């Protein structure tokens, strides 16, 4: 659905004066605290989040999936939907594809269509956690870690094919999430499984173009319920250090056991220069893939505190990061859910940008826990939303993207255009 830009202008006209009042108040109080608001606005404008191609339809669980209408029926319609999100918030300027769910039949045409929506291609994702009808060997007992070399070779070949698709589209990274693992004690020799996987990763690493990266995504459990080969950040870092400088860790927020201090893991990856990027989502129990910031917005803020500290410290040398969402929308409109997630991520980033770093460092040196908390909470309790709305207004997006989406009845229009019972590829 191609959006008529003038509709956004009309929307902004009705909200502009209220926005101006809120922005002026926030700008003056931040300047009083010594912040360079213009610089913060620039950083917020440059912060683009990639939308997962597998999360543009309704998600589900093994117990059921209740499809919504108007879902994208092709890669072209997925690009249209991400283009729509980007037009509304000027913050979703990239898409992350999953192969084979989104194989571009004509890469040149797909690349042109993406460019027409001002979209880039972020990391491409391989998939050796499902068997495809035409494949010779099953991944039931693993893929890159499998005991049978035929299966490992098949999985390596798939990853090389995914790199090819990525090169055709201008992507610069491959994300490997390996579901390989076991369901029962004794089922696998952990060391041998690690070494088979390392050998497979090496063969994929050797095939990476010079300017590419490979992101090693870890996850403690699911689909396996006793052990997972790449189960935690330490294992991901170990693989990355053994592979080489192009190999970096990928932090999916939902891939941590309860009460894990994720912000400390982020600090560890950064100090090793081995942080590749994120799969943002939120969760209460397991890998729930819920709307970012819906459950634990303070944890997200603390993660961005470590990111901003690391990215501004001369003690840290880490490559530019990939900011990606990985979510599944079981009860919400997928596009509304993604608009909320992008907003929550940028709120956490903006709050981290207004932390008084000098004062925090002083409090840390003096072991003044009370003052340190006051400094963090001052930023966390600041309503930074007028900053984000101002950037949207300045870049021609909607001051209130979600309100605009509903005002314009966009889902109803998509259902009219695509049908009430449409299915999209993905989870
Ligand atoms: C695994 C995961 C991985 C994707 C999949 C869709 O849980 O986070 O990043 O490949 O979800
Ligand atoms: Mn993920």
Is the CB of 343 within 6 Å of ligand 1?
A: no
- Using the mean position of ligand 2's atoms as its centre, give its distance from the Cα of residue 366 in Å: 39
- Using the mean position of ligand 2's atoms as its centre, give its distance from the Cα of residue 183 in Å: 21
The answer for residues whose C-beta is within 8 angstroms of residue 288's C-beta and 6 or more apart is: 254, 281, 282, 295
> For residue range 270-322, what is the model confidence (pLDDT) as tens digits?
999 999 999 999 999 999 999 999 999 999 999 999 999 999 999 999 999 99
- Using the mean position of ligand 1's atoms as its centre, give its distance from the Cα of residue 127 in Å: 9
Reply yes or no: is the peptide bond before residue 223 cis, omega within 30 of 0.
yes
What pLDDT does 301 receive? 98
Give the 3-state secondary structure of 36-60: CHHHHHHHHHHCCCEEEHHHCCECC
- Give mean pLDDT, residues 328-337: 96
Helix axes 410-418, 334-353, angle to 10 degrees: 140
Is the CB of 289 within 6 Å of ligand 1?
A: no
The DSSP 8-state label assigned to residue 400 in this structure reads: S
The answer for residues whose C-beta is within 8 angstroms of residue 130's C-beta and 6 or more apart is: 139
The whole-angstrom separation of Cα 117 and Cα 122 is 15
The encoded tokens of residue 40 equal 């913060």
Q: Which of 51, 225, 249, 279 to mutate to test the pocket of ligand 1 (most atoms within 8 A of CB)?
A: 279
The answer for residues whose C-beta is within 8 angstroms of residue 380's C-beta and 6 or more apart is: 298, 301, 351
What pLDDT does 294 receive? 98
What pLDDT does 425 receive? 75
Nearest CA to ligand 1 atom 7: 287
The whole-angstrom separation of Cα 376 and Cα 382 is 10
The whole-angstrom separation of Cα 326 and Cα 360 is 32
Q: Are 163 and 124 in contact (CB under 8 A)?
A: yes
- Using the mean position of ligand 2's atoms as its centre, give its distance from the Cα of residue 279 in Å: 5
Q: Which of 54, 97, 177 to mutate to test the pocket of ligand 1 (most atoms within 8 A of CB)?
A: 177
Nearest by Cα to 90 from 122, 44, 56, 124: 44
- Using the mean position of ligand 1's atoms as its centre, give its distance from the Cα of residue 326 in Å: 7
Is the CB of 278 within 6 Å of ligand 1?
A: no
Pick the CATH number of 16-418 from 3.90.420.10, 3.20.20.80, 3.40.50.720, 3.20.20.150: 3.20.20.150
- Domain spans, the chain: 16-418
What pLDDT does 422 receive? 81
In the structure, what pLDDT confidence band is assigned to residue 234 with cuts at 50, 70 and 90?
A: very high
In the structure, what pLDDT confidence band is assigned to residue 424 with cuts at 50, 70 and 90?
A: confident
């Amino acid at each position: 659905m191609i959006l008529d830009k003038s509709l956004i202008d009309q929307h902004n006209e009705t909200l502009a004066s209220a926005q101006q009042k809120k922005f002026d108040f926030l700008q003056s109080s931040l300047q009083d605290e010594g912040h360079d608001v213009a610089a913060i606005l620039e950083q917020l404008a440059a912060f683009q989040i990639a939308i997962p191609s597998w999360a543009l339809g309704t998600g589900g669980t093994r117990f059921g999936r209740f499809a919504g209408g108007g879902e994208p029926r092709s890669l072209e319609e997925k690009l249209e939907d991400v283009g729509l999100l980007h037009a509304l918030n000027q913050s979703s300027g990239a898409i992350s594809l999953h192969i084979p769910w989104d194989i571009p039949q004509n890469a040149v045409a797909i690349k042109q269509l993406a460019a027409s929506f001002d979209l880039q291609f972020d990391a491409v994702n391989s998939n050796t956690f499902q068997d495809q009808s035409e494949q010779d060997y099953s991944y039931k007992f693993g893929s890159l870690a499998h005991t049978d070399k035929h299966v490992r070779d098949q999985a390596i070949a798939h990853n090389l094919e995914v790199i090819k698709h990525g090169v055709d589209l201008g992507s610069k990274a491959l994300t490997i999430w390996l579901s390989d693992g076991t369901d029962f004690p004794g089922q696998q020799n952990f060391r041998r499984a690690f070494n088979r996987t390392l050998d497979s990763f090496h063969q994929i690493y050797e095939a990476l173009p010079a300017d590419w990266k490979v992101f090693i995504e870890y996850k403690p459990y699911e689909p396996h319920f006793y052990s997972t080969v790449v189960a935690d950040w330490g294992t991901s870092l170990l693989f990355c250090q053994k592979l080489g400088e192009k190999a970096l860790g990928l932090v999916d927020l939902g891939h941590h056991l309860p009460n894990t201090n994720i912000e400390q893991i982020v600090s560890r990856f950064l100090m090793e220069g081995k942080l590749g990027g994120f799969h943002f989502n939120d969760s209460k129990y397991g890998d729930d893939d819920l709307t970012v910031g819906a459950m634990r917005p303070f944890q997200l803020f603390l993660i961005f505190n470590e990111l901003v500290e690391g990215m501004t410290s001369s003690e840290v040398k880490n490559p530019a990061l990939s900011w990606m969402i990985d979510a599944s929308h079981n009860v919400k409109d997928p596009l509304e859910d993604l608009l909320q997630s992008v907003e929550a991520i940028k709120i956490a980033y903006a709050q981290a940008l207004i932390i008084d770093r000098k004062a925090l460092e002083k409090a840390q040196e003096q072991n003044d826990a009370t003052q340190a908390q006051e400094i963090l909470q001052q930023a966390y309790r600041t309503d930074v939303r007028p900053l984000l709305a101002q950037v949207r207004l300045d870049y021609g997006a909607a001051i209130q993207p979600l309100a605009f989406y509903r005002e314009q009845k966009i889902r109803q229009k998509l259902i009219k255009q695509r049908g009430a019972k449409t299915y999209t590829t993905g989870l």
